[in-house]
Amino acid sequence: MEETKRENQKNLFYRIERLPPYVFEEVNRLKAEARAKGEDIIDFGMGNPDMPTPEPIVKKLIETVGKPRTNRYSASRGIIGLRRAQAAYYKRRFGVALNPDSEIVVTLGSKEGFINMAQAITSPGSVVLVPDPSYPIHSFGFILAGASVRRFPLGAGEDFQDAFLRDIDRAAANISPPPLALVCNFPCNPTAQTADAGFYKELVALAKKRGFFILSDLAYAEIYFNPNAPPPSILEVAGAKDVSVEFTSMSKTYAMPGWRIGFAVGNERLIHALARVKSYVDYGAFTPIQVASAEALNGPQDCVEEIRGVYKARRDILTDSFARAGWRIPPPSATMFAWAPLPENFRAMGSLAFSRMILKEAGIAVSPGAGFGDGGDGFVRVSLVENPQRIRQAARSFRNLMKARGAKGAAREGRGARSDQTDKASAH
């Protein structure tokens, strides 16, 4: 009785009801249970950067904390020094000129910027296009804001960009009311797919033709492994600012996830809308954090090179050692994730049952692909957040599991729990 009452109370709120339970929850619960029993879990689950923040950035923070008035409320849209530093970054990295007064807002991490942008631009009945699979916030940010989210397949393979453009064109032509916005994220969490400048050019043309905004999430701008092909910004396209904003983050580039600094830049109307919502919501990040972030952007960038190098080394060790253990994982060309198709023997069981199995039987935690949308179910996401020794240890455990279960694995397991038993929003 008490239980039913509590259950009913949980369902009282309109917005909360619209957030489905969490696909990652079961794996997280099993992980916590195993750890409570003293088991060693090798955790490739969360995209939570594990490297220390580079020393000069930390030093600048400490130095600034001691200064007068830094304890006061800061500026909700970000201190001007940090907005200028972001403008200089866009100029030198992408050749894009931004006005720090009207085209840049500092956010409390790019996630907060995205969520408040959704709040700022959604009207009752707004429809937003989001690829499937995607980083959960891309759909749930808009669901929280009250929009209708239409998922469309992100696609795979060599020509996924063409299919993506075709699908959007078709969707935008057929949806009523026409979509307010499209979310795109390249390099992509979770799939690690990348987009080129030609793709963005066509996407911007399409947005103009069909009248929607583009929200580009460029959180992995600097986590790429081919030095000859750094990911482009959508704002490099002439006229992109008419219809686009882009989100970037200090979290991955400088290993600063807990500092909570990101940016939204681009279209003045959208940036103004976001700044206005934020002016009611927050007083900006703690000033010393913003000063240290400006130092990060303005200072020498060897630390970014080093961070890239660490992820790249882990990527190579992961793909080599798991291939030897019998699981071929395609090497990502960017991001801190490998998007791994379930090994053939286990394909039929689905990503959640597979994740559960390798956690229980090999002590390896990954994120089930179903947590990123139904289109992710044949995959798991493996974050590059463990050190080489632990990655090799995981590969050895996996090889033992393969040996023990062999080809009979999948048939016994069935498809397991459905993907609607989870809480997607805290996936990193």
Whether the CB-CB separation of 339 and 375 falls below 8 Å is answered with no
Q: Positive or negative CA dihedral for 36, 42, 44, 50?
A: positive
Convert residues 223-262 into a mask of x (bound to ligand PLP by CB under 6 A) and - (unbound).
Answer: --------------------------x-x-----x----x
CB atoms within 10 A of CB 148: 15
Task: Retrieve residue 390's tokens.
Answer: 């632990």
Helix (H, G, I), strand (E, B) or coil at 150: strand
The yes or no reply on residue 217 touching ligand PLP (CB under 6 A) is yes
Which one-letter amino acid corresponds to residue 318? L
Q: Residue 121: which of 277, 281, 280 has the closest Cα?
A: 277
| Nearest distance from C-beta of residue 400 to ligand PLP, angstroms | 31
| Nearest distance from C-beta of residue 311 to ligand PLP, angstroms | 13
The yes or no reply on residue 222 touching ligand PLP (CB under 6 A) is no
CA distance 347 to 23: 18
| Nearest distance from C-beta of residue 293 to ligand PLP, angstroms | 11
Q: Residue 135: which of 53, 179, 193, 181 has the closest Cα?
A: 193
Task: Retrieve residue 188's tokens.
Answer: 């992509």
Convert residues 121-140 into a mask of x (bound to ligand PLP by CB under 6 A) and - (unbound).
Answer: --------------x-----
Q: Residue 420: which of 126, 21, 33, 65 has the closest Cα?
A: 21
Convert residues 47-86 into a mask of x (bound to ligand PLP by CB under 6 A) and - (unbound).
Answer: x---------------------------------------
The yes or no reply on residue 219 touching ligand PLP (CB under 6 A) is yes
- Residue 358: which H helix or E strand, with range? helix 350-362
Helix (H, G, I), strand (E, B) or coil at 420: coil
The count of residues in the chain is: 428
Q: Which residue lies nearer to ligand PLP by CB, 142 or 346? A: 142
Task: Retrieve residue 287's tokens.
Answer: 């000033």
The yes or no reply on residue 189 touching ligand PLP (CB under 6 A) is yes
The yes or no reply on residue 428 touching ligand PLP (CB under 6 A) is yes
CA distance 418 to 20: 12
| Nearest distance from C-beta of residue 262 to ligand PLP, angstroms | 4
Q: Positive or negative CA dihedral for 349, 351, 353, 342?
A: positive
Window contacting ligand PLP (CB under 6 A); options: 53-61, 103-111, 204-212, 414-422: 103-111
Report the residue from 28, 74, 126, 185 that binds ligand PLP according to the rule CB under 6 A.
185
Window contacting ligand PLP (CB under 6 A); options: 28-36, 85-93, 109-117, 141-149: 109-117
Convert residues 9-48 into a mask of x (bound to ligand PLP by CB under 6 A) and - (unbound).
Answer: --------------------------------------x-
Q: Running DSSP on this structure, what letter comes out for residue 135?
A: -
Q: Which residue lies nearer to ligand PLP by CB, 363 or 368? A: 368
Report the residue from 110, 191, 244, 397 that binds ligand PLP according to the rule CB under 6 A.
110
Q: Which residues bind ligand PLP (CB under 6 A)?
A: 47, 109-111, 135, 185, 189, 217, 219, 249, 251, 257, 262, 428
